[in-house]
Amino acid sequence: MSTLTLKGPYWVTVRQYRRTLWLVAGGVLLSLVSMVWLRYWDGQTVGTNQDNGHAVLRVAMDWASMAMLLLPLLVGAFVAGPMVARELESGTYKLALTQSVSPARWLGSKLLTAGAVIVPATLALIGVYRLGWGNVSGTWSFLWYESGTYVSTGPVLVGQALLALGLGALIGQLIRRTVTAMALTGLVTGLFLLLVGQLRWSLMPVLTGTGPLDEGNLFPGVSESSWQGGYGLLTASGDRLPAEACWNRTKQWDVCPADLNVVGQYWEYHPSSHYWPIQLIETGIYLALAALALYAAFRVLRTRHP
């Protein structure tokens, strides 16, 4: 990671955090080598009596999913603590301001440097995850709509990381205490991700299917890979009833009292073709929130250091 072409605060930032940059690069490389080996092991043992490779790959992918979900929290904590709050807490930022560097340029150099590392590193990790996911996709806990898989395979993770970057810059300035800023940024970032995640399946209209009431074929015509939402019973007038309405009266799922006038059932779902539209919409939300957080961060900086 040569710093020869960097100048001013960018050069200082890279030099200051060069060990972290090398650690990130080493982590991505180690992840790639490990995933290539796991896929090779899986390919060598599949269909044999000692199919341990696939089992180990699934365990590794479970851990990878968890790590990818936590990645934005780590990004936000690092930006808020070591990159921003620690310099404000110790006063070392004043040295940069005495070198004809404006406060906005001081903060901007840190955020641009961090962003220039976060985006390609996140994309690389997504590629590594997809490499392993190719051998387990479509199986239990690795369907496209599972939280870990969904976040780890698309641009949503990049949007989350950039939101964490913006929140870290803002909270780091407001708190100015390294450990406290790191903890609070992790908490706030997690809350944002949780709230947006709750809206995920309402970002695009669901498809609705209808069919006869049949206990043995609850969702006819819907692929097993589809995300399945609400379902229930349909009456002759088009009203919707809870799925257990008949069971509560007759103790049978497919036998309904005449007074309910049930003629069939309905179900709502997202097919796998909705993956990319939902990914792009959600990524746009995170980028908009990141832009707001960065704007607020520079406003705070301008207020405190005019």
**pLDDT digit string (tens) for 224-265?**
889 988 889 999 998 999 989 999 998 888 889 999 999 998
Helix, strand, or coil (residue 39): helix
Q: What pLDDT is attached to residue 21?
A: 92
Q: What pLDDT is attached to residue 306?
A: 63
Q: What pLDDT is attached to residue 144?
A: 95
Q: What pLDDT is attached to residue 61?
A: 95
Q: What pLDDT is attached to residue 49?
A: 55
From 100, 120, 92, select the one nearest 13 (Cα to Cα): 92
Helix, strand, or coil (residue 229): strand
Regions of the chain with pLDDT less than 50: 1-3
- Confirm if 26 and 6 have CB atoms less than 8 A apart: no
From 172, 209, 196, 223, select the one nearest 286 (Cα to Cα): 196
Q: What pLDDT is attached to residue 224?
A: 80
Q: What pLDDT is attached to residue 2?
A: 46
Q: 0.85 exceeded by the pTM?
A: yes
- Confirm if 35 and 133 have CB atoms less than 8 A apart: no
